[in-house]
Amino acid sequence: MDGGSVIGLDIGGRTIKYTMLTPTGNKYQASGGLVPSRYMELELEQIIKRFAAKIPEDVSGIGIISSYPISCTTYRKGIEKICKVVHNALPQKPVFFIDFEGQMWPLQKVISVNPARFAMSNFYGSAYLGSKVCSTAVIMDTGSTSTDILLTADNHLTTIGKDTNTIRRNLTGEMTWTGIIATLISSLTEFVPLRGQLVKGSPRGGQTTDVYNILYYEKMHSLLRMYGVKQKELDEYYKGIAAYFAYDLENIEPVEIKNVARYISIKHREIVAGFLLQVLSFYKLHVKDTNYILMGIGKEILLKKVLDLVDVDRSCIFDAADYIPHDLWAHGSSVGAALRTLDHVTGELIPLSDIRGDEIHG
């Protein structure tokens, strides 16, 4: 098998995800990881420099997708910063930016293109991976902060919320700011039941990480590890929900907090189910006659329960973990970016059966 490794890089506002596909015989060895940062604007350059030190000399292509620019003053400033950092860290390397339609742009041409094409292109990686799993399906990907709901038809991504030079997926249900770690409880429900009443909590109190650690503490341990986040003691998550009511743990019973967490998790499912039905209604698809591909750290504790809520048969559900090695399903966007780059540099459509696993690194 000719050529060197290819890399998919997803530069987000809170995490950088990467996947490397290295030719070994007639297969490709997959490895990858994720670097979290609460201060990406300050740490982006250092993270990319550390990443660059791991890149083999014979790399054939580096495909970049991103959502980082939406955290900047303007999309253009965000894209310009990424281009500058990548150019300085990876001189002479074959770097491509992948836009929201999957077009590959050499680094030197990116600045001349409308920055909106790259500002939230990360979803294309998930869609491209999904198209390798099933030719026609709805792809659902939940991470720490957001959920994507995308349709691939005949192996091609179909996006409702787009025009020639920009994307509007947040208006169509295809993207919603709701994840399983960093979503505020107040964005999911205004009131919660407590002691026989509907109570309005603090708009800044409690996050989905509190909810899901209370309900699924052991599962969340491995999910947080994938994201490079250290799990706290269980009491700390109970405190997070208590703070939503301005209580401490002496003034509210654990069973009350757990019931509140259950209520919020149900509201979360209902919200995502509503967006799913919005997307399905646009395409005139029946919820029970559609295939679904699930990926991201929320696939088990949120997305499968969403599909149960709308009564989808399990035979219609494809779990990305069954098709890609190890824990790479947790960041399908960078896997998809690597696959898109591999297909671009080889001029072939490489099947997932040609990808085998290596360990994932935090």
User: Residue 348 corresponds to which tokens in the numbers above?
Assistant: 């072939």
Mean pLDDT lowest among 71-75, 264-268, 269-273: 71-75
pLDDT at residue 165, rounded to an integer: 54
Measured distance CA(349)–CA(134) in Å, rounded: 14
Determine the average pLDDT of the residues in 77-92.
91
Mean pLDDT, residues 39-55 taken together: 88
Is 63 inside any structural domain? yes
Q: By C-alpha distance, which of 262, 280, 273, 241 is closest to 160? A: 280
**DSSP secondary structure code for residue 298 in this structure:** T
Q: Is the pLDDT of residue 361 over 50?
A: no
> pLDDT tens-digit profile of 213-235?
999 999 999 999 888 889 999 99
Interval 248-263 mean pLDDT: 94
Assign 14 a pLDDT band (cuts: 50, 70, 90): confident
Q: Which residue has the tokens 């790259």?
A: 118
Which range of 12-26, 78-92, 288-302 scores highest in mean pLDDT? It is 288-302
In-domain check, residue 113? yes
359: pLDDT strictly greater than 60: no
Rounded Cα distance, 131 and 328, in Å: 16
Give 93-132 pLDDT, tens digit per residue. Answer: 999 999 999 999 999 999 888 888 888 889 999 999 999 9
Q: Give the domain CATH number at 106.
A: 3.30.420.40
Residue 67 has pLDDT above 70, yes or no: yes
Over 80: is that where the pLDDT of 210 sits? yes
DSSP labels, 223-275:
HHHHTT-PPPPHHHHHHHHHHHTT--TTSS-HHHHHHHHHHHHHHHHHHHHHH
Confirm whether 50 is domain-assigned: yes
Mean of pLDDT values over 5-28:
92
Report the alpha-carbon distance of residue 82 to residue 183 in Å, rounded: 26
Is there a contact between 337 and 9 (Cβ–Cβ < 8 Å)? yes
Of residues 34 and 362, more confidently modeled: 34
358 has pLDDT over 70: no
329: helix, strand or coil? helix
Query: Can you give the pLDDT at residue 360?
Result: 43
Vertex 337 angle, CA 288 and 67, to 5°: 85
Give CA–CA dist 179/187, Å, rounded. 11
Q: Is residue 26 part of a domain?
A: yes
Domain that holds residue 83: 6-133+328-361
Q: Where are the alpha helices (DSSP H) in the chain?
A: 40-52, 75-89, 107-110, 116-119, 122-133, 208-215, 217-226, 234-244, 254-283, 304-309, 332-346
Percent residues over pLDDT 90 in the chain: 66
Residue 192: its H or E element: strand 191-194
Q: What amino acid occupies position 317?
A: I
Tokens at 91, concatenated: 């001189």
Residue 148 belongs to some domain of the structure: no
Rounded to an integer, what distance in angstroms lies between the CA atom of residue 103 and that of residue 117? 10
Q: What is the pLDDT of residue 1?
A: 53
Could you tell me if residue 221 is inside a domain?
no
Is the residue at 47 inside a domain? yes
Q: Is the pLDDT of residue 344 over 80?
A: yes
For the whole model, what pTM was predicted?
0.91
Asked if the structure places residue 244 within a domain, the reply is no
Looking at the 3D structure of the chain, how many domains does it have? 1
Give the span between the Cα atoms of 171 and 168, in whole angstroms: 6
Average pLDDT score, the chain: 90
Comparing 71-80, 152-161, 214-223, which segment has the lowest mean pLDDT?
Answer: 152-161
Of the listed ranges 44-48, 49-53, 236-240, 323-327, the least confidently predicted one is: 323-327
- Average pLDDT for 129-142: 95
